[in-house]
């Protein structure tokens, strides 16, 4: 695999990007850089170290009712190592125009299920309101323990990355999973300058939206809390 990468034959090498994982499947590149995993056209098997997100959730997670007004949340039933893949944000892929329309409805409901896919341009959005997985219930935090990465597997259209959540630190069994709905990723080198630094989970469009949105109070309780989600 290392020789293939150096020769440009493996997926990361062929796309001129860094190999994203170590031998334990932990992400080793900085947030903002894309991840290119092997796909159905590759000769490697299911145990290839460059197949992580596509294997799905590997930890025992559960949904629980929070006691501080944040609704439902997700916590882990087992310890999660730092930089490990935890879950993918899954939903219905819609256009940004449709997301704007639905966002106005969700705003009135106080819901936030729209995730802009703006790795290179803001064309599509993932809506997890009606279709998705356990990521639908993950709460926001200004001091999160999950980080978003853009992943490409069977698809190389940079407008349609898959959204993977990796642990930013070791996570204890019983601890709630969270990520920052309004996170900012600064370009770390020339490879990531195409990254829109304003990506996150939103009830409408975020950044460049023609519609002014009301401020949503944050209830994460972190010492670094910004007081508002948006």
Q: Which of 153, 141, 154, 156 is nearest to 200 (CA)?
A: 141
Mean of the per-residue pLDDT values for the chain? 82
SS3 176: strand
Residue 215 within any structural domain of the chain = no
User: Which two tokens mark 40?
Assistant: 């159905």
Band (pLDDT 50/70/90 cuts) for residue 9 is low
Annotated binding residue 194:
no
Does residue 106 form part of some domain?
A: yes
Number of structural domains (the chain) is 2
What pLDDT shows up at residue 107? 82
62 marked ligand binding residue: no
The answer to whether 11 is annotated as binding is yes
- Cα separation of 169 and 200, whole Å? 20
pLDDT beyond 60 at 131: yes
> For position 149, what pLDDT does the model report?
95
Same domain, 117 and 20: no
Establish whether 71 is an annotated binding residue.
Answer: yes
The top-scoring range by mean pLDDT among 7-11, 15-19, 147-151 is 147-151
Is 136 annotated among the ligand-binding residues? no
- Domain shared by 95 and 81, yes or no: no
pLDDT at 143: 93
Share of the chain above pLDDT 70, in %: 80
84 and 138 part of one domain: yes
Smallest Cα–Cα separation from 16: which of 150, 199, 196, 192?
Answer: 192
Q: pLDDT category, 210, cuts 50, 70, 90?
A: very low
Is 72 annotated to bind a ligand? Reply is yes
Residue 8: the pLDDT is: 52
Q: What is the rounded average pLDDT of the residues 146-160?
A: 93
pLDDT higher at 117 or 194: 117
Q: Which residues of 166-192 are buried (b: 16+ CB within 10 A; e: fewer)?
A: bbbeebeeeebbbbbbbbebeeeeebb
Full residue range of the structural domain in which residue 150 is found: 11-88+133-183
| Same domain for 142 and 53 | yes
Residue 224 lies in a domain: no
Q: Is residue 18 part of a domain?
A: yes
Mean pLDDT for the stretch of residues 24-52: 90
Q: Is 48 annotated as a binding residue?
A: yes
Question: Is there a contact between 168 and 51 (Cβ–Cβ < 8 Å)?
Answer: no
- Is residue 181 part of an annotated ligand binding site? yes
Which has more pLDDT, 20 or 189? Answer: 20
Give yes or no: residues 76 and 168 share one domain: yes
| Predicted pLDDT at 1 | 53
Q: Is 213 annotated as a binding residue?
A: no
**Average pLDDT estimate for 39-68:** 92
Q: Are 53 and 33 members of one domain?
A: yes
pLDDT at 44: 84
Structure-token match 């630094």, residue found: 197
**What pLDDT score does 190 carry?**
38
**Burial class of residue 46 (count of CB atoms within 10 Å of its CB; 0-12, 13-18, 19+):** exposed
**pLDDT tens digits along 154-186:** 988 999 999 999 999 999 999 999 999 887 665
Sorted by sequence, the CB contacts under 8 Å of residue 190 that are 6+ apart come out as none
């Amino acid at each position: 695999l290392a020789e293939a990468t150096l020769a440009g034959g493996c997926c990361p090498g062929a796309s001129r990007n860094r190999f994203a994982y170590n031998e334990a499947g932990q992400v080793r590149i900085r947030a903002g850089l894309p991840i290119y995993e092997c796909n159905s056209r590759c000769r490697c098997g299911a145990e290839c170290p460059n197949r992580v997100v596509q294997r799905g959730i590997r930890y025992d997670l559960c949904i629980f009712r929070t006691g501080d007004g944040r609704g439902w949340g997700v916590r882990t039933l087992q310890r999660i190592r730092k930089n490990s893949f935890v879950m993918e944000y899954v939903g219905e892929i819609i256009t940004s125009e449709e997301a704007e329309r639905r966002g106005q409805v969700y705003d009135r409901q106080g819901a936030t299920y729209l995730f802009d896919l703006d790795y290179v341009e803001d064309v599509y959005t993932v809506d997890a309101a009606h279709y998705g997985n356990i990521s639908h219930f993950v709460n926001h935090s200004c001091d999160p323990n999950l980080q978003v990465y853009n992943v490409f597997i069977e698809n190389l259209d940079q407008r349609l990355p898959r959204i993977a959540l990796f642990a930013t630190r070791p996570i204890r069994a019983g601890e709630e999973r969270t990520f920052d709905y309004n996170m900012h990723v600064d370009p770390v080198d020339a490879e990531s300058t195409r990254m829109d630094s304003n990506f996150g989970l939103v009830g409408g469009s975020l950044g460049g939206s023609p519609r002014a949105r009301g401020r949503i109070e944050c209830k994460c309780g972190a010492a670094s809390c910004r007081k508002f989600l948006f």
